[in-house]
Every structure is written in structure tokens, then in C-alpha cells.
Structure 1
């Protein structure tokens, strides 16, 4: 089915409010989720609501939290998210870091103990909107690992995303790299599972460490209550040892230096999603002349895109352009949502006390 973004946002906003969020928080989280769908990252969009419901029901996700600045030292800012909605807590922490960066030119900001931050590219977009450059390294804790290390046969890490963001110019859109350090995010496997589709070779391994294309091998991570789940497999690292190495540094930077924790097994796991983030925000105007920077961004982007495409139907794109293309298409045509995901969202609303008819009337 195809749903217009405004209609879907009304529904998501109502569900979040019913789950205890204030009007402001519900709007921020709903905006973030819908923006993820619009950008083509359905793995981090409205399909996350069933997971959030499980966390709310077990008090592992706490609505209406404000990040606590527990340490401030020069250009260093360290926040604790208090298990709040990461989309809301992360937005506030970034706003404070950007405000400080306008004065100092450089900020190292960490955020620990926050529930799922969502699509990390959103925080890169925040810095871009302020004319800032940013780098983000995130780890994921408090649940069973999802991703096998290079040469390993079972999961030891999570999808540990990174994001790098650079402002553009009037001629060139911003450059935004937003990626998991696994070959795919867990949510992309959830989307394939709900659609009944196989995944490409090399993205998954089964419980014996053998390559698999069946997303059911990791269904136990997504739907733990499902009785017919096969033994747990794992996602595979992006670029073999390269993605594995980046995932390790997400643990060391995002997990360790934030004062949060890494995914190593000494720490309790409550089967929720806790993110820790290590971010560097830079005012490029403190380093170089901004018009010259903009020219260089335009020139290097044009240089890359001038490469003749190997496939004429797939031109060279700059990081961030696939999301812009998806955004424009989905704003015009609507957001595609499979039947299983749609039903799961309605079930979430019903579990929180909303009537199905009332939810459908919002559409």
C-alpha cells in the first residue's frame, strides 16, 4: 500500500501520545520516523513502533526525558539520555552542541544511555542545517549481538552506525554518509521478512555460520515472541574486516568514551535498545574560507559524478543523494508500506488503547 506522509504522521503522532509522550515529543519522534521512511530508510521508520511498544510495556523506554549534561569541560559536553526516546533526546543534545560550537568552533559531544536514536543521518542533517560539519559514531547495547565479526560464525556486535556530514552549497546538495557497519541494518531484514522476500547472498549467516538468504534466521531478534523462529543467525560486517574494524571503533568511541558501555558480556542485557553516541561538531568557518570550501565541495562532487557510469541506468551519486531522490519521490507519490508492517502498526495502537476505526479515520 501507499500512504501519504502527512496522513501517516498523524497516525504515528496519535500512537506516540497514547504511549505517554507529550505533544512536543510525539511530534519530534513522528517527524524523525516519517523522515526516515521518506529518505528510503524504512528500516528506521514507522516499522519500529512494535519494538517501541515492547520497550514501553517493560519500562525500558521512558517517555518525556531531557538529556542530562553530566560533564562539561571546555569544548567537551557529555549527556545522559536516561532511556528516553533517542530521537527527542538526541535532537536536544545536538542543539546544545551546535549552540556551543558557534562560540568555540569545535565541540566533542557524547550521549549515553538513550533509547534507539533512529536514523543517525538525522543528526548529520541537524549540523548541516546549522552550517556545521559533524562526525558520529554509535554503538548499540542492552540486547543480544546481531553482527558477526570478520571470520566469525556468530554475532558479537550490533549494527553500530556511523555518519559523516558536510554542508553543500546552492549548486551542490550536502554530502551525508549514513551507514551501518553491517552490510544491512536489522530493520532491512525485518522489512524483507514482512514482505516474504529473500535477501541477497552474503548479507546473513545461519546459526552454523553458513551463508543464508532467508531473513527468518534473524527473526528471533525482531519478533522474539514468535514461537516458530529458527535458531539465531547473524548479519555480516560491511566490507569484511573493514566494517568489523569500524564496528569495533563504534564500541570504543561511542560506547566507551561516552561513559556508556560496550556490548561485551559482562554488562547486563535487558533485551532493549540502548545507543551511545560520540560526535564531533566543527564550524568550518573557523578553519577555511566558506566560499572556497563550497567551491571545493562542488568541484570534487562534479569530478566524481563525471565518471562514465558502468550501467547507464545507474549514474554516479554523491553520498546523501539517494536519500534526496527518495525524499522527493515519496513526498510526491507517498510512502510504500507492506501489509504486515501496516497491521503491526495498527496492533500497536490497539494495544495502547486506540480504536482501529479511529486510527483509520486519521488517514
Structure 2
């Protein structure tokens, strides 16, 4: 796999977005978000998305020049994407969330009609960086249905991630962040394998025959569905979480739910919540709790000799440090797509050499 420096990858991503008419400021926000996802090890939400965004620009599903708007009811807000880039919408929502929680001790922001919000863990990190607790529920507003209810292979829900964040201040060198799809894997894990010829792990999917879907291309053509988190044995848990995320996002964002077997993709809806923990406890007590819990969890003896207990957010913290120093590995199939896009948009001179093959 080719390895690219983060700065060069971000520069190319920004130029690729601008070639479709994305304003420089918006392109910078989106490119930074995509490369940050690569840095923390979540390539499913990284530059693999650029060709998909390009398709959205061409089909006019997403307007790269659009700006989100805000509807407020007192101290509570809804951010309406209006076909704007999701990272722009997410940033606006987080700004309002932090501002409101700073004033009132709690902030609630709904989102609807947003483009792809990207890695929700990024928004959690921004909120915990302000010393606030974070929680969110995200849906796909009825489109992009990919999760099957337990015992079926029919697509009915989006991958509907749930995310939680806790600031640790000086207790740990990173904040505690949980960010996960309510399916066995995020859909991005499928699309980054599209064109690679790799067989998908059997635990991810199910088809009408009860067998897993073999290849990403088959899944992208509509074959089978993603299993809910928990898989064949305990998927009712992930299905329950996905259902609740669907409703929380829809109600707080005031957007549609997944109620039709087939409907066009309408973007992300979400419910974002932030809480000032010092309303309920002291900063020192929060630090002490986080340190004590971390020590307790890490005291568990690994079964494997080289094993260790990693806390939520720790793999991303380590990956970011390592990839800033060593560069970012890009799947060959993704590199080929980016190279083809560069040729199509006449920006090959901006393509990092490792991606040119």
C-alpha cells in the first residue's frame, strides 16, 4: 500500500474538492476532517469518501457552496444542512453546542438534511476538548438502508452510529471516546474494499440464503445486508441501539425516519448533546474518577503475552501519533480511485507521488 504524508494528502484532498466548486474555506474544513480520520486509523471515513462526494456533486445531491442554517427555540437549536457539506454542518452544530453548554450547563442541537457528517468521534473530541461530556445519535434519514433486523436479510436501517465522550483533563493523555456504528462494521469498511477483490469477513453480512456476502462489489450492488452489532448471536442488541438512534436523531433533528423499503438518500440527521460536568461534580473529582477507573481496567491480566487493555479513544490517540511520524497507508484500490479522479479533474500535478502508482 502507498504511504503518504498527512500534509500532502490534505493538500490534494483540498484541491480535489475545490475542483468541483467547493469554496476554499469549506474545502479546508472537509479535507482536514477526512485526513484526521486517516490519522486516527478510521480510513472508512477518510479520503475514500472523496469519489463519493464527487458523485454527490455531479448528481447535485450535495451543493458544495451551500451553508447550513440554524433554527432556534429559546436555547435549543436545530442545524439544517440544506445539502451543505456534512463537515461544515457538524462544525456549526458543535460550535452552538459548546456555546450553549457553556451558558446553561447543557446543550442540545439537532441536525437534519446534512451531507455526510464524517467521523462523529471528531465532533466528540472537539466537545471534550472544551471540558464537556458529549453524546450523540445519528441516522441516515431513511436512505442508505443497510442493517437487517435480526433473523432477516432485508435492509431496513442505516448504520446509525452512537458516540460518547468524556474529558479526562490531566488524568490521561487522551479523552475517552466511544464512536461506533450499530452494525457489525461501518459501511465505509465495505466501500474501502470495493474493487480490491478481497473477501469480506463472514461476520459482517448476511444474504437471503443465510450465507454472508462474499465481496464488497456484491454488497454495493444491493446483495444482502449488514448484520446489526452483535451479529448472528446477539444482534438484537445492536438492532435495538440502531432503532433508538434512528428515533433520537429523527426527533431532535426533526427529520424523516427509515420507514420505506426504498427511498433516496437524504443525508444525515443527528441529536448532539453536551453537558458541563462541573455542574454536578468538580474537575478534580472527575480527574480522580477517570484515573481510578483507567487503572482498574488496565489491571485486568491479558490472556495473550503481548496483549494489553486499551481504553476507548486510546487506539486513535496512538494511531495519530504514529501516522504523523510515519505517514498514512492508503489502500491500493482507494489510491487508484484518487489517481483516476485526479486525471479526470486535471489536477494530477497535485497528486502525491505515492498515489500515482
* TM-score class, shorter: over 0.9
Query: How far 1:69 sits from its partner (Å)?
Result: 1.5
The question of whether the paired residues in 1 share the 8 Å contact of 2:176 and 2:311 is answered with yes
1:238-274 Cα deviation digits (max 9, x unpaired): 02111100100111001233111112118x833x460
Aligned partner of residue 209 in structure 2, secondary structure = coil
The question of whether the paired residues in 2 share the 8 Å contact of 1:255 and 1:262 is answered with yes
2:351 to 352, 359, 362: 359
Distance 2:68 2:132 in 1: 22
1:323 aligned residue: 316
2:156 aligned residue: 156
Is 1:269 the counterpart of 2:260 in the alignment? no
2:103 aligned residue: 103
In the superposition, relative to structure 1, how do residues 177 and 337 fare at CA in structure 2: closer, same or farther (>3 Å)? same
The question of whether the paired residues in 2 share the 8 Å contact of 1:10 and 1:362 is answered with no
1:142-183 Cα deviation digits (max 9, x unpaired): 534111112222211111111100001223121100000001
The question of whether the paired residues in 1 share the 8 Å contact of 2:97 and 2:274 is answered with yes
1:225 aligned residue: none
Is 1:238 the counterpart of 2:239 in the alignment? no
RMSD of aligned alpha carbons: 1.9
1:168 aligned residue: 168
1:262-300 Cα deviation digits (max 9, x unpaired): 12118x833x46000101110111111111111101110
Query: How far 1:358 sits from its partner (Å)?
Result: 4.3
Distance 2:157 2:307 in 1: 33
Is 1:133 the counterpart of 2:133 in the alignment? yes
Distance 2:257 2:166 in 1: 28
Is 1:189 the counterpart of 2:184 in the alignment? no
Where does structure 1 lack aligned partners over 5 or more consecutive residues? 221-230
1:338 aligned residue: 331
Aligned partner of residue 30 in structure 2, secondary structure = helix
1:77 aligned residue: 77
2:3 aligned residue: 2
Distance 2:324 2:31 in 1: 16
1:313 aligned residue: 306
In the superposition, relative to structure 1, how do residues 121 and 360 fare at CA in structure 2: closer, same or farther (>3 Å)? closer
Distance 2:102 2:224 in 1: 46
1:227 aligned residue: none
The question of whether the paired residues in 1 share the 8 Å contact of 2:4 and 2:352 is answered with no
Report the TM-score, using the length of structure 1 for normalisation.
Answer: 0.91
In the superposition, relative to structure 1, how do residues 14 and 362 fare at CA in structure 2: closer, same or farther (>3 Å)? farther
The question of whether the paired residues in 2 share the 8 Å contact of 1:106 and 1:281 is answered with yes
Alignment of 1:175-324 (within 5 A): 175-220=176-221, 232-239=223-230, 240-265=235-260, 269-270=263-264, 272=265, 274-324=267-317
Aligned partner of residue 323 in structure 1, secondary structure = helix
Query: How far 1:362 sits from its partner (Å)?
Result: 11
The question of whether the paired residues in 2 share the 8 Å contact of 1:150 and 1:237 is answered with yes
2:88 aligned residue: 88
Query: How far 1:314 sits from its partner (Å)?
Result: 2.4
The question of whether the paired residues in 2 share the 8 Å contact of 1:202 and 1:212 is answered with no
Query: How far 1:187 sits from its partner (Å)?
Result: 1.0
1:64 aligned residue: 65
Aligned partner of residue 6 in structure 1, secondary structure = helix
The more displaced of 197-206 and 41-50 is: 197-206
2:32 aligned residue: 31
Query: How far 1:207 sits from its partner (Å)?
Result: 4.2
Distance 1:158 1:238 in 2: 12
Distance 2:4 2:46 in 1: 13
Report the TM-score, using the length of structure 2 for normalisation.
Answer: 0.93
Distance 1:97 1:279 in 2: 8
The question of whether the paired residues in 2 share the 8 Å contact of 1:154 and 1:209 is answered with no
